[in-house]
């Protein structure tokens, strides 16, 4: 019986990920000890209405379903390119929801983002201040006739081991995704094309090897071989041994791009590539129906006008959804309704005249 596709785009949660075939030999990872995926039988949307809606209403194209499954089978990142509003980031939430892979780990990229930001954050100043407070408390205790304490948090000598360091270190979204989970986590690296020129190349080794080191913990292993560190987005802790992290199930990684730059060939060949386009009429109607129910006659007019105007300039699907919702919720009709709809759907790129009516 064929296991293809594991991801179907149906938005109905299932455990098909457990029947995923073994990875290619060159993409097998052996990190451990194995960790349970957080909320394995729930998804992040259970506590976030916005993300619940995005995950359950995403309408995947046939091409998207095929290439998501290719990335899952090959244990490769999925590079999703497309105009704003084409559903690039929502795809990650849809996959996490259907395959029950827990909360999506999201890393938003800017021109100042560096690889370290995604792996972990360490605050040496707060650690220094904490050590100073412990020293002051110990001095006051000694003055009061108490036995001075030689140990910091976690039982290590203050400032020497991982015991006091771990309280000032938190794994980032990329660092958390590469923990040795039994099931893959979903990692969304959003707008990678806005990054510094070096970031895609810096990601190459991490995404190829599925592992990284935390130098501060590596140096501390002579005092403490393991540390309990916070993970991204929660107050939960995991144990990192000898300062090294290696994945077990390669995370389903979605990198989104608006197509504003070219990426190095070495980066591209390590990714499965999906290009999204503005939806055609039938697909657009499915999207509207999923979000807002059966389109009214006026909504049908807006869809037709949106498609017509989209041939002359860049528009986003969420602009259409906003216009359909608001013109209905406001209870307007006639010219005032048309004017409001047009104001909600201006072209996203310069050089286009917003003079089309509906």
Residue 155 is predicted with a pLDDT of 38
Average pLDDT over residues 185-197: 95
Kindly report the length of the chain: 358
pLDDT tens string 205-236: 899 999 999 998 998 887 788 999 999 988 89
pTM of the entire structure? 0.85
Contact 75, 23 (CB under 8 A): yes
pLDDT tens string 290-346: 999 999 999 999 999 999 988 888 899 999 999 999 999 988 888 999 999 999 999
Contact 86, 277 (CB under 8 A): yes
Average pLDDT over residues 175-191: 97
Question: From residue 204, how far is each of 191, 201, 208, 232, 239 by CA, in Å?
Answer: 17, 5, 6, 22, 25
pLDDT tens string 240-277: 999 999 999 999 999 999 988 899 999 999 999 999 98
Contact 134, 126 (CB under 8 A): no
Look at strands 252-257 and 186-190 and give their pairing. Answer: parallel
Residues 79, 323, 302, 279: what is their CA dihedral angle, to the nearest 10 degrees?
10
Which superfamily does 16-120+166-275 belong to? P-loop containing nucleotide triphosphate hydrolases (3.40.50.300)
Q: At what angle do helices 281-292 and 317-329 cross, to 10 degrees?
A: 50
Q: Is 50 exceeded by the pLDDT of residue 159?
A: no
Q: Which of 94-108, 112-126, 217-231 has the highest mean pLDDT?
A: 94-108
For 66, the 3-state DSSP assignment is: helix
Contact 164, 216 (CB under 8 A): no
**pLDDT band at residue 124 using 50, 70 and 90 as cut-offs:** low
Contact 336, 326 (CB under 8 A): no
For 229, the 3-state DSSP assignment is: strand
Q: Is 60 exceeded by the pLDDT of residue 355?
A: no
**pLDDT band at residue 131 using 50, 70 and 90 as cut-offs:** low
Residue 158 is predicted with a pLDDT of 40
**pLDDT band at residue 53 using 50, 70 and 90 as cut-offs:** confident
Look at strands 78-81 and 226-230 and give their pairing. Answer: unpaired
Q: Is 90 exceeded by the pLDDT of residue 203?
A: yes
Q: Write out the two tokens for 335.
A: 């010219």
Residues 6+ apart with CB under 8 A from 293: none
Cα separation of 349 and 313, whole Å? 7
Average pLDDT over residues 154-161: 42
Cα separation of 231 and 239, whole Å? 10
Cα separation of 171 and 247, whole Å? 14
Residues 6+ apart with CB under 8 A from 312: 347, 352, 356
Over 135-189, what HEC string results? HHHHHHHHHCCCCCCCECHHHCECCCCHHHHHHHEEECHHHHHCCCECCCCEEEE
Percent of the chain with pLDDT over 70: 83
Cα separation of 140 and 146, whole Å? 9
Cα separation of 329 and 195, whole Å? 39
Q: Is pLDDT larger for residue 42 or for residue 180?
A: 180
């Amino acid at each position: 019986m064929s296991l293809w596709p594991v991801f179907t785009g149906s938005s109905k949660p299932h455990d098909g990920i457990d029947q995923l075939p073994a990875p290619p030999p060159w993409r097998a990872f052996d990190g451990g000890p194995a960790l349970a995926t957080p909320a394995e039988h729930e998804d992040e949307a259970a506590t976030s209405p916005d993300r619940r809606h995005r995950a359950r209403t995403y309408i995947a194209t046939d091409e998207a379903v095929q290439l998501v499954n290719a990335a899952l089978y090959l244990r490769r990142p999925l590079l999703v390119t497309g105009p704003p509003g084409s559903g690039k980031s929502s795809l990650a939430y849809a996959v996490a929801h259907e395959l029950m892979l827990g909360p999506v780990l999201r890393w938003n990229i800017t021109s100042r983002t560096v690889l370290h930001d995604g792996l972990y954050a360490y605050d040496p100043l707060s650690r220094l201040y904490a050590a100073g407070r412990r020293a002051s408390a110990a001095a006051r205790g000694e003055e009061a006739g108490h036995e001075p304490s030689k140990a910091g948090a976690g039982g290590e000598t203050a400032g020497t081991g991982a015991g006091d360091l771990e309280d000032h270190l938190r794994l980032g979204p990329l660092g958390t995704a590469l923990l040795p989970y039994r099931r893959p986590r979903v990692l969304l690296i959003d707008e990678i094309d806005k990054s510094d020129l070096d970031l895609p190349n810096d990601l190459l080794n991490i995404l190829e090897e599925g592992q990284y080191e935390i130098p501060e913990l590596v140096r501390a292993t002579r005092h403490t071989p393991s540390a309990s560190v916070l993970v991204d987005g929660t107050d939960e802790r995991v144990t990192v041994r000898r300062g090294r992290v290696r994945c077990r199930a390669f995370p389903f990684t979605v990198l989104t791009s608006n197509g504003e730059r070219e990426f190095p060939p070495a980066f591209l060949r390590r990714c499965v590539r999906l290009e999204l386009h503005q939806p055609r009429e039938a697909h657009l109607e499915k999207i509207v129906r999923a979000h807002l129910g059966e389109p009214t006659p006026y909504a049908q007019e807006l869809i037709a006008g949106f498609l017509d105007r989209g041939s002359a300039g860049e528009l986003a699907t969420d602009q259409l959804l906003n216009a359909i919702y608001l013109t209905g919720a406001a209870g307007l009709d006639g010219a005032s309704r048309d004017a409001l709809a047009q104001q909600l759907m201006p072209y996203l790129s310069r050089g286009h005249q917003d003079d089309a009516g509906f």
